[in-house]
Amino acid sequence: MTGIKKTVQRRSLILQKLDENGQVNVNELSDLLGVSEVTIRNDLDKLEKNNLLIRAHGGAFKTNNLALTVTEKKKINLDIKRAIGKKAASFINEDDSIILDSGTTTFEISNNLSSYKRLTVISNALDIINNLAHFDNLEVFMPGGYLKEFSMSMVGPMAERNFKQLYCNKLFLGVDGIKPNTGVFTHYMEEAYLNQIMIDIAEEVIVVSDSSKFKKTGFAFISNFDKIHKLVTDDKIDPSDREMLEKNNVEVIIA
């Protein structure tokens, strides 16, 4: 078999694995296909240029798993996200300082802050900051950083450094995946590290997530369940997932 045919066959198998699993890992593909990790990374880069996948740290995702704009993501499970946002906002007290992490569910929390007389809100999400701009009752802080257009969030060394100077009563954390007995995940390393800093400076950590996230994961680990106090979700959560969370001392709230 010629080199070109081998390459085509290999990339076809990569796409097949993507279709089956929704994501692929460089290390696993290297072992499976008997080629170097450098070769696999080159394959993934070429496939991404043809819009057949989206590269992420350590591997890649199917395009239909990730290639959605923030606006498009907001339309998915919108009624559920609105209910979760409203319920999560009910845990905020007057004079609290809160962090709203970037995400479509945390965005819905920002729609429920008009009744508070005094509140400090910190966020790294451009859409959330813009949504809060018309509220006179809020002190709004954006720690800065560089813009990750895919999620409309600010990340990087500047954001990390500035968040380390802050403190808040409550962090509302959006996630891309929840893995039983392991913890919560996002797709991007920069966001995961920034989320870890947010967790460190927060008195209470509240994850907001619809139940579909229990069927998903991501390459970037954020935290185990030990640092999470509450999880606000919908009534479609699997009983086994709820039991797992409660065994890990995470209070589960149904919106």
Which tens digit of pLDDT belongs to each residue from 6-27? 887 888 888 888 877 778 889 9
Please tell me whether residues 193 and 215 are part of one structural domain: yes
Find the range with the poorest average confidence among 45-54, 62-71, 213-222.
62-71
> Which domain-ending residue is among 23, 47, 66?
66
What is the 8-class DSSP label of residue 250? P
Q: What sign has the CA pseudo-torsion 192, 196, 198, 199?
A: positive
Please tell me whether residues 151 and 247 are part of one structural domain: yes
pTM of the model as a whole: 0.74
Please tell me whether residues 61 and 120 are part of one structural domain: no
Please tell me whether residues 53 and 94 are part of one structural domain: no
Q: What's the full length of the chain, in residues?
A: 255
Please tell me whether residues 144 and 223 are part of one structural domain: yes
CA distances from 145 to 55, 99, 152 (A): 22, 16, 12
- 49 has pLDDT over 90: no
Q: What is the mean pLDDT of the chain?
A: 88
Report how far residue 157's alpha carbon sits from residue 153's, in angstroms, rounded to the nearest whole number: 13
- 68 has pLDDT over 70: no
**Alpha-carbon dihedral angle through residues 114, 119, 120, 126, given to the nearest 10 degrees:** -10
What is the 8-class DSSP label of residue 125? B
Exposure of 201 in the CB half-sphere (CA atoms within 13 A): 19
Report how far residue 89's alpha carbon sits from residue 111's, in angstroms, rounded to the nearest whole number: 9
Please tell me whether residues 153 and 134 are part of one structural domain: yes
CA distances from 230 to 47, 69, 212 (A): 40, 28, 17
Report how far residue 11's alpha carbon sits from residue 22's, in angstroms, rounded to the nearest whole number: 15
**pLDDT score of 16:** 80
Report how far residue 227's alpha carbon sits from residue 217's, in angstroms, rounded to the nearest whole number: 18
- CB of 63 closer than 8 Å to CB of 48: no
Nearest to 22, CA basis, from 50, 49, 56, 46 = 56
Report how far residue 209's alpha carbon sits from residue 104's, in angstroms, rounded to the nearest whole number: 10
Please tell me whether residues 18 and 78 are part of one structural domain: no
pLDDT, tens only, 86-98: 999 999 999 999 9
**pLDDT score of 35:** 93
> Which domain-ending residue is among 49, 66, 83?
66
- The CATH number that applies at residue 94 is 3.40.50.1360
Please tell me whether residues 62 and 82 are part of one structural domain: no
Nearest to 155, CA basis, from 128, 121, 193, 122 = 193
What is the domain extent for residue 23? 3-66
**pLDDT score of 228:** 97
Q: How many domains does the chain have?
A: 2
Say how many Å lie between the first and final Cα of the chain, rounded: 57
**pLDDT score of 164:** 95
- For residue 32 the two structure tokens come to 């499976």
- The CATH number that applies at residue 48 is 1.10.10.10
Please tell me whether residues 185 and 60 are part of one structural domain: no
Please tell me whether residues 184 and 226 are part of one structural domain: yes
Please tell me whether residues 61 and 101 are part of one structural domain: no
pLDDT, tens only, 187-201: 778 899 999 999 999
4 compared with 242, residue with greater pLDDT: 242
**pLDDT score of 67:** 46
> Which domain-ending residue is among 66, 84, 100?
66
Please tell me whether residues 111 and 227 are part of one structural domain: yes
